Amino acid sequence: MPEGHTIHRLAEDYLASFGGRPAHVTSPQGKFTDAAALLDGAELTTAEAHGKHLFLGFRAADWIHIHLGLFGKVDFGDAPAPPPTDTVRLRLANNTAFVDLRGPTTCALIMDTEKQAIHDRLGPDPLRPDADPAAAYRRVSRSRTTIAALLMDQKIISGVGNVYRAEVLFRHGIDPYRAGKDLTSTEWDAIWTDLVELMREGVRNNRIDTVRPEHAPEAMGRPPRVDDHGGEVYVYRRANLPCHICGGEIRTADLAARNLFWCPTCQKP
Ligand SMILES: [Zn+2]
């Protein structure tokens, strides 16, 4: 499942290739054909993300709402577009570029009111300028649920996935099993500010790096991480490896249906 920075990056990439110009809109797979016909030839006016939801805006109030889910994929390419495979749910094409969407959980044409309803049920997104971290803290601070589970709850905070939750808790020395109600507002503010910075960098670089300069491979004289997720991290998928700070063993456990990673020494209860 992609994390929020990937979806914000996709919004930027859609706009860069298709913004302000009419697009040829099709659904080779056939599941989005009627909507594609309505949008064909319209201009992509804006694109935005909220958490893991992507919204492509056409004309004044038409939106394509996309959620990639576990299997959704987006591929950009240069024109001329090759003949599409029949797995392409949505293709946009113009005379310089094309982009194919395959396998999303959601790809639907919606109006402003429906879009607003989606925003209303999502928690604040650290990558959105309109985000209100205090709204998230009000819910966190009333909850007995662990902070590691709360960070993955899209109704409370949106866009944070398994990598950012593990890394941000490590960076602040917070035990992932602490209850939300035991988190101070100062701690929450620090987590939020850090997420804003880390996730913005994620959008820029299109990958997740979370280690501070002093813990980078060059600074520590260690080999760079080898993992298909790329990026330098402290704990994510580093189970049984030595912690970059204390040298102790990174641990893993199941939490909120995903593998949690943490250092029990640096993140004391
Ligand atoms: Zn440690």
* pLDDT tens digits, 182-202: 999 999 999 999 999 999 999
**Confidence category of residue 269, pLDDT binned at 50, 70, 90:** confident
Given a cut of 80, whether residue 256 has pLDDT beyond it is: no
CATH topology for the 4-121 domain: N-terminal domain of MutM-like DNA repair proteins (3.20.190)
Distances (CA, A) of 253 to 176, 239, 263: 11, 9, 11
Task: Reply yes or no on whether 217 is catalytic.
Answer: no
Computed over every residue of the chain, the mean pLDDT equals 96
**Confidence category of residue 20, pLDDT binned at 50, 70, 90:** very high
* pLDDT tens digits, 71-88: 999 999 999 999 999 999
Q: Determine the pLDDT at residue 227.
A: 81
**Confidence category of residue 2, pLDDT binned at 50, 70, 90:** confident
158: left (phi over 0), alpha (psi -120 to 50) or beta: beta
Catalytic residue among 9, 28, 48, 52: 52
Catalytic residue among 2, 139, 187, 201: 2
**Mean pLDDT across the stretch 170-188?**
98
Task: Reply yes or no on whether 2 is catalytic.
Answer: yes
Q: Determine the pLDDT at residue 251.
A: 97
CB 140 within 8 Å of CB 183 = yes
Radius of gyration (C-alpha) of the chain in whole angstroms:
20
Q: How far apart are alpha carbons 232 and 238 in whole angstroms? A: 11
Helix then strand then coil, % of the chain, to nearest 5: 30, 25, 45
Given a cut of 80, whether residue 229 has pLDDT beyond it is: no
Domain borders along the chain are 4-121, 133-262
Given a cut of 80, whether residue 257 has pLDDT beyond it is: no
Contacts of 123 by beta carbon, 8 Å cutoff, 6+ apart: 51, 135, 136, 139, 153, 154, 155, 156, 157, 158
Per DSSP bridges, beta strands 44-50 and 97-102 are unpaired
Q: Determine the pLDDT at residue 60.
A: 84
Tell me the pTM: 0.94
- Residue whose entry in the numeric block shows the structure tokens 């607003």: 116
CATH number of this structure's domain 133-262: 1.10.8.50
Q: How far apart are alpha carbons 86 and 255 in whole angstroms? A: 37
**Mean pLDDT across the stretch 56-84?**
95
Task: Reply yes or no on whether 3 is catalytic.
Answer: yes
* pLDDT tens digits, 101-158: 999 999 999 999 999 999 999 999 999 999 999 999 999 999 999 999 999 999 999 9
Q: How far away, in angstroms, is 137 Cα from ligand 1 center? A: 27
Catalytic residue among 225, 249, 258, 264: 258
Q: Is the dihedral of CA 190, 191, 192, 193 positive or negative?
A: positive
